[in-house]
Structure formats: C-alpha cells, structure tokens
Chains A and B, each alone.
Chain A
Amino acid sequence: MSDKIAKCTGCTQKDEKKYGEIADIIDLYKDKEGSLIQILHLAQEVYGYLPLDVQKFIASSLQIPLSEVSGVITFYSFFSTTPRGEHTIRVCLGTACYVRGGKKLVERLQDILGIQIGETTEDAKFTFEIARCIGACGLAPAMMIDKVVYKQVNVNKLESIISKYYES
C-alpha cells in the first residue's frame, strides 16, 4: 500500500526518499505509546509540513482512519498542512497588542504579503501567523520574525522590515 501512494502522487525522486524516511520512522515508533503524535512530529521534520498525501501514507501504514490523523493534525497548531516559508512572521494579537494596533499590523502585512493568516507566500519566503502574547506587552504592538522580536512596530515601517529579508 505504501509504495502505491508514494508513486501515485506523481512525486519526485526527492519525495520518494522522504517517504522512505517517513516509512522508517513509522516502523520505529508504531508500537510505542502516543506514537501518532511522535510520528507526525518527525514526519513534519522530514517533509516540512503534512499535506494530505503524507497523511494518507501515515494513516494507511498505521491502519487508522485518515479522518483521525487529520483530526490530530488540525487540532494542534504545531502541525502545518501547507508548506512553510523560509521565515515565519508572527504578529502578536494578545490583549495589549490588540488594543495598541496589532490588528492594523495584520491588515498591512496581509496587503504587503498578499496572503491571509496561516498562509505562505508563493515564493515560499514567508509564512504568516498570529501569536498570543510574546512577552513584550510593555512595548506593544509586537511581532516576531523567526526568533527576532520587533517591538512598538510602526505600520509604515513594515515594508522596510520585510524587504530586508529579501536583501540577504
């Protein structure tokens, strides 16, 4: 069954190698407690995200319903079903940031990036997400790009912040 899916999705050779790795992970973990989450976690590391075909592959290898696998994946925000960008932008919408214009940052970023929350830009540069309080309430509104925290962000500065990530 597993080979069939790996082939029928018309995937590249690189994909086939990834599927192979995921198959190994499944073999290693399938009998352990809480194995589904472990397997999903490692599979996401290998594949980068967990699209439907990977979910099918895992479901049929573990002989559990696909709806259960996707149920777990969509329950935990840790898992992603769409490809992730090179950088992750997280705008804080915790209470402090929300009151001080976090929402405006979101709107402006949507414009600049041309994507909605939870999506990734076509050039795979950015994934855009929302955070709940990143511990910078005193200097709200705040946002993070990867591990860098930007405080008291001015809406008008957003463009230049983003463009820096295209320079390097």
Chain B
Amino acid sequence: MINLVINGKPISVAEGTTIMNAAKAHNISIPNLCYLEGIHKIGSCRICVVEVKGAKTLQASCMTMAAEGMEVNTNSDKARKARKVLYELLLSDHSKDCLSCKRNQTCELQELGKTLGIEETRFEGAHSDHVIDTSVSITRDMSKCILCRRCVTVCNQVQGAGILNAQNRGFSTVIGPAMDLPLGTVNCVFCGQCTVVCPVGALKETDSIQSVWAALNDKNKRVVVQVAPAIRVALGDEFGFEPGTQVTGKLAAALRALGFNDVFDTNFAADLTIMEEGTELLGRIKSALTGEPAVLPMITSCSPGWIKHIEHTYPEHLDNLSSCKSPHTMLGALVKSYYAEKIGAKPQDLFVVSVMPCTAKKTEIARNEMKNDGVPNVDAVLTTRELASMIKEGGIDFKGLPDEEFDSPLGMSTGAADIFGMTGGVMEAALRTVYEIITGRELPFDGLHVTPIEGFDQVKEATVKLENVVDEYKFLEGVEVKVAVTSGVRGANILMDQIAKGESPYHFIEVMGCPGGCIMGGGQPRSSDPDVRTKRLKGILAEDEGKALRKSHTNPYVTEMYEQFLEHPNSHKSHDLLHTHYVKRGEFNELTDEEFVVDTLRSSKKLRVPIGSIPDYCPSGQSSNRKMHEDLESVKILALEAENTRVKKELDDALETVDLLKKVIVNNKKPK
C-alpha cells in the first residue's frame, strides 16, 4: 500500500494506482477528457493536471502514479487555471456549433466546460482546414475533433483494424485514414466502435433519421419496422434506465407510437437463420464425412462488419462463410415477398426499417446482394441511438409507455433468437437446435447454456460429442463437433490465420465484428457504466430464460413459414430470398470498384490568429473588468508555456528522426 495526501486527506491505495484513480476511490473526481478507463491512456489533453508538492510542473493525474508521501492538490489555483486555459485553447480550434450538433447535451467537451465553470472563450484561434467525410455508415466531422485519439486506440489496439491514425503533424494533424482517403473507400469495417468512444461530435453514424421520418409521413408507404435482439437491453440507457434493463414491451409500444404500421422482430429471422444455417452446416459436415468437396469450418455471417473484414483481408476464404444473409435482411426479404403477398401490397410500397445496434448494417443494406428483383430488402437502418433521438423528437414519454407485444407473425421468436445479441449466442442457439435434431435429445448443458463459449474471452472453444444419434444422422455417430467463438476483428484474425494455414481444427465458427457482440455494437448508447457489458449480457440471458420456447426449431411461426411459403430449409426459394454471396475486395479495395462514399467536404479555411498574439484587450469588447485583464496576463503566460511544451515535443520528435536517420546512414548498405 502507498500512503499519500490528496487535498489534505490522507489516503492509501495499492501500488500502481494513478493519482486520478486514487482520488476517485476517495470521492474526489478530477476533470479529464482523453482518458478512457481500461482502454485509452496517453495523456494527450492534460486537462487532468494537478499540483504535486515538490514537482516543478503540473502533473497529468491520469498518467502519474501515486507515490509514497506525495502531497497532491487537485484544486490549486495553478491547476484550475491551467485546466481552463487548456480547455479554452481546445475551443479556439473547435467549430462550437453546439446548438446544431448531434452531440449537443451528450458531449463530453461540453460537459467538461460546465464542470470547469467556463463562461467565456478568450482565444479565437486558427481553424484547421477540416474534412467532413460522410460514408454510408459513418460520418467524420474533423472540425469537431479534439485529437484525444481514443478512436485511434480503439481502431488499432482494441479492434486491430488500423484504419484511423494521426496524419500530418502539429497544427495540421488530422485523425483519419491514410492520405485523406474517404472512409468509404478504404478497408474500414464500419464497426462504429470509434463512434462509441469519441467524446464529441467528430465521429458519428451517418444519419438515417430523416429518411425514416419521410417514409412515416408518406401516405403511399406502409412502413414496417423490426428490431435486433440487442436493442431491448440497451435502449433503456437513453431514458435513464439502469444498463441492461429489458425494455422490450416499451420498445414495441414506442415504435407503434411513432407511427410504424407493422412492428416486427428481427428475432423471428434469427430463429429462421438457425434453421437455414444449421441445415447448411449439417450438409457441409455430411459431405466432408462422405468424401465430397466441402469447405469447413463454416463461419457465421450475421455480422456485416465481420463480412466486410473478411472480404478485404481474407478474400480467398469467402467460401468458409455461411451463405445466409444476416437476420434483418432475411426478415426484410420476407416482408417484401411473403408478407406483401399476404396483405396484397406491392414490394415497392413497403418501406422496411431495421433498428440495429450496428453501424455496419447501414452499408450492408446498400450492397447489391441485398436486393431481390431490384428492390432492396431493407430501406433504412437506424442505430439504437438514432431510435432514441426519434422517440425523444416524437415527444413520446418512453418511461410512461405500457408494455406491448410485437405484431404477428413476423414478431414471434424463441429465447434462442434473443441470445444472437451476445458473443457466443448464435453458436449456442445453433447447438441447441442441431444437437436436438441429430440426437433427439436436448443439448446436455445446464439451462441450455454452453458455458465454455459464454463470456468475453477473445477466442472461446467447445467440443460437443454426438452419441446415440437418430437413424437419419447415423453418419454422425461418435463425431466430436469442434466449435469456436470470437468477437472483434482482432480475434477473427487469429481464427482466420489458422484457416489460411490449413490448421483450423474447427467445424463451425461464430464471429461477430464488435468485441462482446451486438450488445456492445457501434450503434449502441454510449455508457459511462464500467459494467455495462456484463449488465447487458445479463439482460439478454434473462430475456432468453423468460421465454416459454427457447429453441429455434420449436418456433411455431417458423414451422408455418416453411409449410406455407419456403417449403424447407435451404429450399430453392430460401436460397433465392435468404441466402447471398460475397465480394472479393482486397486489403486496398484493389479487387472491386464498389465504394461507400456519400459525400466529402472541406470546410473553408478560417483566419488564423496565432496563439502568441493574444490581444491585450478582451476580444469580445464587452466585459472589461480589471480582473479579466490580470487574468489575461497569467493566461498568456500559460498559453505560451503550453505552446512551449508543444514546440519542445516537436523538437524531440525531430531529434528522434535525426537519430534514426543517423542510424540509417550508418547501416545503410543499399542493396543493388
């Protein structure tokens, strides 16, 4: 244990605790901005500075470790002033159009300003030349970027995708893909994880709200909505519910109140996916066992972020993917065929909206493969966050809504469909059905939960032995089915590299593009609760356990769908409507011409006033009290200090280059 004093209060904490966390454990919160617990810690913003007795300069409390005998003052004059100046400097190169910003009132920069008690901005600084880059899924508005680099950490270290990095240097620094390439032209998987961690309005989903309102107000359209499993345990976050609260009933009611004509549930199609994918898997295993050509392991295909990743990175292994479309596009295809027929509507007159925890699904529905007879399966994808804003804009009192049900028949589902929302869920749902079909017995796991593949480890695996199988599946007697589950690009790469080397021991692999699965999707509400993942997971499991039917093949409406319309799993008709194929893209899109760009803009350059020339008068020309002038003096000094630190850092970088180049010259034996 280490003993120190913070704000006069004696405190002991474990070794290796930062000053910030030591203070937090004792109910002293230190303002911060770039820091992100457990994920991102590079000390770039220096908002969290505190005064440490004996130290020459202020210390960034998110980086500095508590040490024995340390005396810390988090609220000294110097620390408070420095924070304010740093904050104001951030604002000097910020677009500040809060009133028309998507993050208005949910913005961490705004919140910080409030915490710091900022009432004026004294610097009108230079404005960088900003890019506003709109891809089908994600919009980057770099005029709002504060260079905290959380997105860089998430995209590179957490996801391992490596799309976003700092480009250029100093004042021209911009966070983005290589060489100013628009996001829609590179191998971004559109997972949206960067939009979840961005503290400001710089990274966000590309808006679909307007097109949905337009459809709702169009008398000639019948607007059908469906919701993914992970929405029901996350939407509540936006309305003050504890994370993980199941708000399924209110969700259905809210959608009806917004004016959607049919309120369906993607879960129905999740059950259907199990029938289609399970049949496909059995077919492949049978072929493999009887010596026919078959590609194994088979990999799930419900996560369009993952699909885009494999298309870019492992284009030679697309045959490993299940040919099933993702559940919401399956449902869309059925709405515009089966359901349209049933109600006597033309497919073009139906407008299908999917509410998804996912930003990648916005791009998915734009793909050519997600159309039947030229009509898109799904017309718009709203993220969970977008639905929440629509509910708020629509003036609906979410908390006060009664619990309602989804509409029949495409709204009915089993518990197996609910767990599609979490990592390991698709696999578990598949095993529940496949095992029972093969052996005639229930899956032999406690509560039907395949514990080895639950939880958040990077790669999880399980083996299920098939014994005493029913006659039809005699060829499977004694077979040990090996499965693996992962979520996030990084984990997927581990399993794909095995496949590429021909060393994969598995029959079936589940991959979801976001770490933790859809409950942590890139379109989900941003949460400050460190346990949000576990809480949402519990919500999903409770949803599953609360259902009378928990195995996809027992869904009576699915059975009916096959009897009345699709005939049987993997039938000709289901191949037509529910299955798809994939596109070889290549790491740099060199194998395709398809791009997902909506728009790219460059904001005009604004006048640059260097920080060194802060005027001696109040720029607003209004409040001219003396205190302000005195303040400005000290502010100028602080600003110059800050500038100094920046220049020093640049110098260090330059020296580093010189060093490296020296080395280059020394061992430079250029090969001829």
Are A65 and B165 neighbours in the complex by a CB distance under 8 Å? yes
Q: Which residues of A contact B670 (CB under 8 A)?
A: 25, 42, 45
Q: Which residues of chain A (1-52) have a CB below 8 Å from chain B? A: 1, 4-5, 8, 21, 24-25, 28, 32, 34, 37-38, 41-42, 45, 52
Docked-complex contact B653 and A67, CB < 8 angstroms = no
For the A-B complex, the count of residue pairs with Cβ-Cβ distances under 8 Å equals 80
Contact yes or no, A28 B671, CB < 8 A: yes
Q: A55-B179, A65-B162, A67-B162 are in contact. Are A34 and B168 (CB under 8 A)?
A: no
Q: Which residues of chain B are within 8 angstroms of A25 by Cβ–Cβ distance?
A: 670-671
Interface-located stretch among B134-142, B248-256, B340-348, B659-667: B659-667
CB distance from B579 to the nearest CB of A (A): 30
- Contact of B618 with A by CB under 8 A: no
CB A144 to nearest CB in B, in angstroms, measures 19
Q: List residues of A whose CB falls within 8 A of some B CB.
A: 1, 4-5, 8, 21, 24-25, 28, 32, 34, 37-38, 41-42, 45, 52, 55-56, 60, 64-71, 74-76, 78, 81
Q: Contact check, A38 vs B163: say whether CB atoms are below 8 A apart.
A: no
Q: Please give the distance in Å from B488's CB to the nearest CB on chain A.
A: 16
Q: Which residues of A are found within 8 Å of B168, using beta-carbon distances?
A: 74-75
| CB atoms of B178 and A37 under 8 A apart | no
> Does B588 have its Cβ within 8 Å of any Cβ on chain A?
yes
Which of chain B's residues have a CB closer than 8 A to the CB of A42? 664, 668, 670
Interface centre among B161, B163, B176, B588 (most CB of A within 10 A): B588
Give the total of B residues in contact with A, Cβ under 8 Å.
28
28 residue pairs bridging A and B, Cβ less than 8 Å apart = A1-B587, A5-B588, A5-B590, A8-B590, A24-B671, A25-B670, A32-B667, A42-B664, A42-B668, A56-B588, A64-B162, A65-B165, A66-B178, A66-B186, A67-B167, A67-B178, A68-B165, A70-B165, A70-B179, A71-B165, A71-B167, A71-B178, A74-B168, A75-B166, A75-B167, A75-B168, A75-B169, A78-B661
CA of A59 to CA of B663 in the docked complex: distance in angstroms? 22
Residue pair B660, A37 in contact (C-beta under 8 Å): yes
Q: Which residue of B lies closest to A8 (CB)?
A: B590
Q: Does B164 contact A (CB under 8 A)?
A: yes
Nearest first, the 8 closest Cβ-Cβ pairs linking A and B are: A65-B162, A70-B178, A67-B165, A71-B165, A66-B178, A24-B671, A67-B178, A74-B168
Q: Is B663 a contact of A38 with CB atoms below 8 Å?
A: yes
B217 CB–A CB distance under 8 Å: no
Closest to B588 in A: A56
With A5-B588, A42-B670 in contact, do A67 and B177 touch (Cβ < 8 Å)?
yes
A66 to chain B, nearest CB (A): 4
Contact: A38 with B167, CB < 8 Å?
no
Per-position 1/0 for B163-204, Cβ under 8 A of A = 111111100000011110000001000000000000000000
B17 / chain A contacts, CB cutoff of 8 Å: none
Q: A25 to B668, alpha carbons, bound, how many Å?
A: 10
Q: Contacts of A52 on B, CB cut-off 8 Å?
A: 178-179
CB distance from A72 to the nearest CB of B (A): 9
15 extra A-B contacts, CB within 8 A, seeds A52-B178, A75-B167? A1-B587, A4-B590, A8-B590, A38-B663, A42-B664, A45-B670, A56-B587, A56-B588, A66-B588, A67-B162, A67-B164, A67-B165, A68-B165, A71-B178, A75-B653
Give chain A residues whose Cβ lies under 8 Å from the Cβ of B671: 21, 24-25, 28
User: Which A residues are CB-close (under 8 A) to B559?
Assistant: none
Partner of A81, one of B165, B179, B661: B179
Complex Cα distance A71/B161, Å?
A: 15
* A74 near B169: Cβ-Cβ < 8 Å: yes
CA gap between A102 and B162 in the complex, in Å: 41
Q: Is the CB of A74 within 8 A of B167?
A: yes
A55 touches B178 (CB 8 A): yes
Residues of chain A with a CB closer than 8 A to B660's CB:
34, 37-38
Q: Is B156 an interface residue (CB 8 A)?
A: yes
Distance in angstroms between the alpha carbons of A120 and B166 in the assembled complex: 25
Q: Smallest Cβ distance from A84 to chain B, in angstroms?
A: 17
CB-CB nearest in chain B for A1: B587
CB under 8 Å from chain A, chain B span 126-165: 156, 161-165
In whole angstroms, how far apart are the Cα atoms of A32 and B669 in the complex? 14
Distance in Å: Cβ of B163 to nearest Cβ of chain A:
6
A71 and B168 alpha carbons, distance in the complex (Å): 6
Q: From A36, which residue of chain B is reached at the shortest CB distance?
A: B660
CB-nearest residue of chain B to A81: B179
CA distance A37 to B656 in the complex (A): 11
Known contacts: A25-B671, A42-B670, A67-B178. The answer to whether A37 contacts B588 by CB under 8 A is: no
Chain A neighbourhood of B603, CB < 8 A: none
Question: Is B657 in contact with chain A by the CB < 8 A criterion?
Answer: yes
Q: Is the CB of A37 within 8 A of B165?
A: no
